[in-house]
Amino acid sequence: MGATPIAVEERVWRVTAGAFPSNCYVVAIGGTHRCAIVDPGLDGPSIERALDALRLEPAAVLCTHGHFDHAGSAARFQREHGCAVYLHADDVKTLRASNFLLMAFKIDARIEVPEVTPIDARGLFVDVAGQTFTFHPTPGHTPGSCVVHTGDSLFTGDTLYARGVGLSKLPGERPAELRRSIESLWDRFAPLTKVHPGHGESATLGWIREHNSALRQFLETADDTPA
């Protein structure tokens, strides 16, 4: 996996790279050379090369949650491009534990923790160069996990995958809460909404609801036992 950006819909590209690969998304802002970066993982240089190839300048970093494979390069873009980094307030502690988790996973990498602009109930809307991104809290995978919505696109981090279920058995994960968060998405968003997850391929919300058999089984069996 390299730095080549893959178009997943109009004005949205996926970059998958790094020691612990995860999906980072580059969202171009219509009519400008600016973009939002969603979930920059551990491989900042690959994301930078993708931005150069697309001739886009990052205006903000949006993190669906605080795990290192979704926020590990956020500080780089804050430092080098002046980007604000948005993350739900309930996941700041998760982000600050990143280097501990990297050591626990025996991954030879360490991250710089950025200065976070916290998202909470008082402000779930983020303006990026004139385009609105909305954070919808979906706790369960982590306490402050969110899905990020703009236009017809939904960036779901580890809350919702096209195939399989984003269970990690890490501290703070609550399966029953994750189940409720996922079930709330069916009514909040249209079936044709394009879901871009933190790992794996993109798909429409309706396709996921109908065809993700592992997810259906999880929704039927989840309980309140913490991971």
Reported as a single tens digit per residue, the pLDDT across 13-50 is 999 977 788 999 999 998 899 999 999 999 999 999 99
Whether 227 maps to a domain, the answer reads: no
Indicate the pLDDT class of residue 175, thresholds 50, 70 and 90: very high
Q: Give which of 42, 78, 80 is closest to 62, Cα–Cα.
A: 78
Query: Can you give the pLDDT at residue 223?
Result: 61
What is the value of pTM for the model shown?
0.94
Q: Which residues pair with 194 in a beta bridge?
A: 153, 204
- Mean pLDDT computed over every residue of the chain: 93
Whether 62 maps to a domain, the answer reads: yes
List the domain range (segments joined by +) for residue 35: 6-221
Mention every residue, 6+ apart, whose C-beta is less than 8 A from residue 37. 24, 25, 26, 27, 47, 58, 60, 61, 62, 77, 83
Indicate the pLDDT class of residue 224, thresholds 50, 70 and 90: low
Q: What is the percentage of the chain residues whose pLDDT exceeds 70?
A: 96
Whether 226 maps to a domain, the answer reads: no
Whether 1 maps to a domain, the answer reads: no
Whether 170 maps to a domain, the answer reads: yes
What CATH number should be reported for the domain holding residue 183? 3.60.15.10
Indicate the pLDDT class of residue 4, thresholds 50, 70 and 90: confident
State how many domains the chain has: 1
